[in-house]
Every structure is written in C-alpha cells, then in structure tokens.
Amino acid sequence: MKRDKDGLVVEGIEYKYDETGLIDWRAMVPDKFFVVKRESKNKDKNLLNDSDRLLLLGGIKYIAFLRGYTSVEYTLTIPTPQYVASTCSITWIPNIETENREVKFTSCSDAHPQNIEGYGVKYLTPTSENRSFCRCVRNFLRINVCSQDETTEQIDLETLNTVRGPNPHQNLELLMKQTGKDLNAIKRFLLKQGKKEAEVYNSIRDISVPDTFILAEALKRQLAGGAKA
C-alpha cells in the first residue's frame, strides 16, 4: 500500500474530512460494516442515527489498516478463571494528523460472565482482547459508534441465573456460608488486599464483580484445604 509524505494512501482511497479539517475516520468506514442494534426501534438503515448502530470487528480492522500501524501489543491480567482484563497498545504510523510523528495509543477492557453473552462466555480471553483492540482503534480515531464486540444484550436476573448459573454475589454468599465467613471477615480480607473502599461496604452487593471472583477463589481454596481467606 503506497502512502504519500503525509502518511495517506496514494491510490484508491478518497479521504473525508470533518469541520475541523481532520480526517473523518467514522465516515471512512464502509456501510457494510455497520449493523442495527437489537434494541433499536428504527430498523431502516437509511434513517438510522449512529446511536442505533454497532460497528463490526471487520470495520475496525479495515479502518485500522487504512490508518496504518506498525504493531499491536496486548497485556492480559487474569486474577481468576472467570475474569480477564486486557490492555491493547497500538503503535500508529506517522501521518499529517500526528505532525508526522509515530504515536502509541492504549485502551483497556475486561470480560466476565456478567458482561458478555453467548459463546463469548467460554472465550473470555479473546473476547477481552477484541474489546480492547476495538476501543483502542475507536478512541484514537475518534469513532463514536460502539463496536459490536464491546456490547452485550441486557437480560433480566432470572434469565441470567438460568443461563449462567448463580450470579457472582449469590455464589460468594454461598461460599461464605460454607466457610463460616461473615461480611466483616470479607471486608478484612479486601482491606489487606489494599481495597480501601471495603471500609464502607454494608452488604455483599457492595462488592465489585471482579472482587467477588477473587474472593470466591480464595474461599474455594479454603474449602479445599488451601490458604485461608
């Protein structure tokens, strides 16, 4: 792919610009890479606002390739088998928008059974990676249409429990009963982990979802005769 001195593709691409004179990367994404949100009441693609659309992964990859980059790096954090956090760093080639300087840009994401649906529940790591990649591209290129990989359908708690089993707080509560732990014991454990916000917790529901996974793993180890929580 040939580029000129400003880092722009020489042939076959007609660049579009916004009112500030910057490249309108949102407008550069072909329509075939957009789908209508399931909750959108308007199903006519010709009348949709961006708030009614989702951007497919293929569109994210297309626009990233068009902008140009030299590397994509991921850093993963997996505190429990049910929680994955991913950081994506993309090194973008120099172009006119960055005053012909190379720029490294980073975005983060996470994935756990309460913020994804379908087959993604079984593939937390690639789901988190895709999310962080999509966010990194969108945020850097100022594309304000959420990608399909970043969203999930909202379903009621009863359906959630039927499909995925007890929610994290219910699971933690069960493990606390099995190990004889009360809320004060849980708060002490969290405070030792540097979670100062635990001081004001009044119920299990105040605990963040990622922390419920960490606590659950600690209590499971105790039940198995391992380290105590």
Q: Which of 118, 150, 182 is the last residue of a domain?
A: 150
Mean pLDDT calculated for residue range 116-127: 81
Greatest extent of the chain over all pairs of C-alpha atoms, in Å: 69
136 lies in the same domain as 177: no
Percent of the chain clearing pLDDT 90 (strictly above): 55
Model pLDDT, residue 191? 93
Backbone angles phi, psi at 138, to 5 degrees: -60, -45
Question: 154 pLDDT exceeds 70?
Answer: no
Q: Which residue has the higher pLDDT, 153 or 36?
A: 36
183 lies in the same domain as 136: no
Model pLDDT, residue 178? 87
Global model pTM greater than 0.75:
no
pLDDT digits (tens, 9 = 90+) for 69-83: 999 999 999 988 889
Residue 7 domain-assigned?
no
DSSP code of 150?
G
Question: 157 pLDDT exceeds 50?
Answer: no
- Sequence-distant (6+) residues with CB within 8 A of 169 are 204, 205, 207, 212
Question: 67 pLDDT exceeds 70?
Answer: yes
144 lies in the same domain as 69: yes
61 lies in the same domain as 146: yes
105 lies in the same domain as 182: no
105 lies in the same domain as 133: yes
Cβ-contact 85, 115 below 8 angstroms: no
Residue 4 domain-assigned?
no
Calculate the average pLDDT of the chain: 86
Residue 47 domain-assigned?
yes
Model pLDDT, residue 155? 35
Residue 2 domain-assigned?
no
Residue 156 domain-assigned?
no
Q: Which of 106, 123, 150 is the last residue of a domain?
A: 150
Structural domains of the chain, count: 2
Domain containing residue 205: 166-223
